[in-house]
A and B are shown apart, each in its own frame.
Chain A
Amino acid sequence: MLNPISVAFKKARTENRPALLTYTVAGDSSKKQSLDILKSISKNTDILELGVPHNTPVADGSQIQTSAYRAIKNGIKINDIFRIVKDFKKFDKNKPIILMGYYNMIFQYGDNNFLKKCKTSGVNGLIVVDLPWPENKDFAKKCKRKSIYFIQLLSPTTTSKRLKKIIQNSHPMNYFISMLSTTGGKLKVSPREILKNYNRIKKINPKKEIVIGFGITDKTIGKLKSADGLVVGSAICKEITRCLNSRQNPVTNVGKLVRKLKDKIK
């Protein structure tokens, strides 16, 4: 059976648009609300990225940090995250879910235990921010055995030689970091420049799906439409924070934001 992540890219392609990937932090601002948000954005997003909050994140900007600290403060644990995934899949069983986090949380759970839980709860892919290639070789193999995509990160600083090696060893989907930044930074490179780098990567193996992330908002997403997929994270976390601060409902408002994002790439 084809991984639902690949199905989602195929579907977007037939509709002549990039896939939309949304990132929210699991348990932000509570377990129930984070599940409700997933449900409310589900019909307008192609792939759900769910952040595993960690309290020493070395690659996240202030928006995602705020969401992560809020979720941890409200008591989210790894097992709760698997529960959220499982409950969501009862609601929409074909929507792919990718967990994104830092390696220490997986390491403490145990690689094999973690992957077993991923499988039984319905996780389809993993992004581990601080487990780069070649350190991730063994872990990526274990993912493959469970038919879970291990998604490699590629950056503007990744050398051509390294790009080729990483892509050669990669699963069907990879993630290109648009610029030198933590998540949610202001887009400091032009979309044209980003797409130039993207095309350079894409040419190495056109069959691999490459998504672009970091710094993408409703203002910039329309200019990057030619990519296989686009990830929006910090802008969504920022909206949740805004709603909480102004006593508005994050569930409906994030739903609206994601619909707007989808409209921009149609």
Chain B
Amino acid sequence: MKLKKRIPVIDQGNSLGFWGGKFGGNFVPETLKKPIEDLEILFNKLKNDKKFISERDRYFKNWVGAPTRFVKLENLTNHIGGAQIWSKVVSDANGGAHKIYNATVHCLLAKRSGKKIICGDTGAGYAGKMLSMAAKKFGLKCKIFMGAKDIARQKPNVKAIKKNGAEVIPVYSGSQTLVDAVSECMRFWVANCDTTAMCVGSTVGPAIFVRICGWSTSQISRELKAQLIDEFGSIPKKLKLYNCVGGGSSSFGFWNEFMDYDKKQVEFIGVEAGGPKKSKKHAAPLTYGSKIGILHGAAQYVNQNSDGQIEETESISAGLDYPGISPLHCFLKDTKRARYTAASDEEALSAYKLVTKFEKLRPSLEPSHAFFVALKEAKKLSKDTIVVINSCGDAYKDRGILKERLGKKYVKSN
């Protein structure tokens, strides 16, 4: 299995949509074959269309707020005493997380295809919040599927979704988290694909959704590349990019523009959710060696039992609480371009405490996983190493959990 140079990774799948011949594909009911093919034709045309790209860039700049900040975390750097620690503050984006890029592009595509309704899944609530924002902006009706457990633990985002005029549909089946929300959303699309567009909230699902999402979030690394050159004159000789990985949309977007660099120069480190220390359950299929299986239309490494039933996950962060992982990351793992590891719930919380103690930055529980591993490794790295962590979400949504686990003083009001 080999990663090709000078070809975007999203376009490296074969004719059936498999990366490396075995990850991804289109394991979908017959009814979805036609709407998926229509979306493929539309996207393949528009992704090279100059007018469409400039329309996208205009919305990213004026509405999403590009570029998001790239800042040095001076206090943390001094405290850790190793590599230089920087952060790409993607939570600056309109709405407070990277999910806005994919949501915007899906709404632009829905408009072009003449669909009036858009449906989407959400875990932490960010994908749902952003889709509801974008739908409102572009005049589309919006339905958001969310697990009942996640509705209870991510209330601020649920409120925001409703405020944007979208309908929140609670999902009570299975574990009542993201995995069930995605299933229910796909079922809704099966029954309504003639009038409704679907937005899958991460780089998961049938191949076309993986590609659209990866294409959209790549905005992050396009900005970062320019910012690095601006700051250092060129891409640093030792650069390490840390990102949390749930479905994998922010990490893929954070890395994409640096794909062709040698990994000795630009290393990618993906941090999965290891779950509670005392629990056997986790959301880290790459770290803990899960087998390849099929989930939500794509072949990927996925937590499952020997019969092929998808296993329940456990993580403090709703956004990472997914048993599978993007086919793109399976491909990056097996081609050894990226390295994957996990942080536990407790480790993510400790990193959150440390970051908020030293910096004016408030990463949500998802990027706190990446911060933990980055800060741990930065200690042992030379001063000329540049460590960048994608702070891809803001902790406002986590205030309930933070209050419960860390006490009142860690909850700042917005």
Chain A residues proximal to chain B, CB less than 8 Å: 54-61, 65, 69, 72, 77-78, 102-109, 129-135, 152-159, 162, 177, 180-182, 185
Contacts and interface: CB of A to CB of B under 8 A. Distances in A.
Nearest to B27: A130
Interface in B294-349: 294-297, 304, 306-310
B34 A108 contact: no
B295 A69 contact: no
Contacts of B173: 65, 69
Given A103-B27, A132-B26, A58 B297 contact: yes
B183 A56 contact: yes
Contacts of A185: 191
A55 B25 contact: no
16 contacts: A59-B29, A65-B173, A78-B307, A103-B27, A107-B294, A108-B293, A109-B308, A129-B29, A130-B297, A132-B28, A132-B29, A133-B30, A157-B35, A158-B34, A177-B31, A180-B193
A57 B183 contact: yes
B293 A56 contact: no
A155 B405 CA distance: 50
| Closest 9 pairs between A and B when the two form their complex, measured CB to CB | A108-B308, A157-B34, A105-B308, A104-B294, A155-B31, A153-B30, A59-B29, A130-B27, A104-B308
Contacts, number: 113
Interface in B1-51: 16, 25-35
A58 B191 CA distance: 11
B33 A108 contact: no
B306 A56 contact: no
A58 B145 CA distance: 14
A181 B189 CA distance: 9
B183 A58 contact: yes
A58 B291 CA distance: 21
Contacts of B403: none
Given A132-B28, A182-B190, 16 more contacts: A56-B295, A58-B186, A58-B190, A104-B295, A130-B28, A130-B294, A132-B26, A135-B16, A155-B31, A156-B31, A157-B194, A158-B30, A158-B33, A162-B33, A162-B34, A181-B191
A60 B173 CA distance: 12
Contact of B304 (A108, A133, A177): A108
Contacts of A180: 31, 190-194
Contacts of B190: 58-59, 180-182
B310 A55 contact: yes
Contact of B191 (A65, A109, A134, A182): A182
B139 interface: no
B28 to A, nearest CB: 6
A106 B296 CA distance: 16
Contact of B306 (A55, A103, A108): A108
Contact of B31 (A69, A104, A157): A157
Contacts of A69: 173-174
A154 B25 contact: no
Nearest to B33: A132
A36 B335 CA distance: 51
Contact of B193 (A56, A129, A132, A157): A157
Contacts of B408: none
Give the one of B16, B191, B295 with max A CB within 10 A.
B191
A77 B27 contact: no
Chain A interface helix/strand/loop/mixed: loop
A154 B32 CA distance: 11
B192 A72 contact: no
B187 interface: yes
Given A55-B309, A58-B183, A104 B296 contact: no
A153 B294 contact: no
Nearest to A105: B308
B103 to A, nearest CB: 22
Contacts of B297: 58, 130
Nearest to B293: A104
A65 B194 CA distance: 24
Contacts of B210: none
Contacts of B31: 59, 155-157, 177, 180
Contact of A102 (B30, B193, B294): B294
Give the one of B29, B174, B187 with max A CB within 10 A.
B29
A61 B183 CA distance: 11
A56 B31 CA distance: 17
Contacts of B28: 58, 130, 132
Given A108-B308, A180-B193, A103 B294 contact: yes
A132 B28 CA distance: 7
A56 B296 contact: yes
B181 to A, nearest CB: 11
B245 interface: no
B387 to A, nearest CB: 37
A52 to B, nearest CB: 9
A155 B294 CA distance: 22
Given A108-B293, A157-B31, A177-B30, A58 B187 contact: yes
B179 interface: yes
B187 A61 contact: yes
A207 B198 CA distance: 38
A134 B34 CA distance: 13
Contacts of B307: 77-78, 105, 108-109
Contacts of A108: 291, 293, 304, 306-308
Contacts of B29: 58-59, 129-130, 132, 153, 155
Contact of B308 (A107, A135, A158): A107
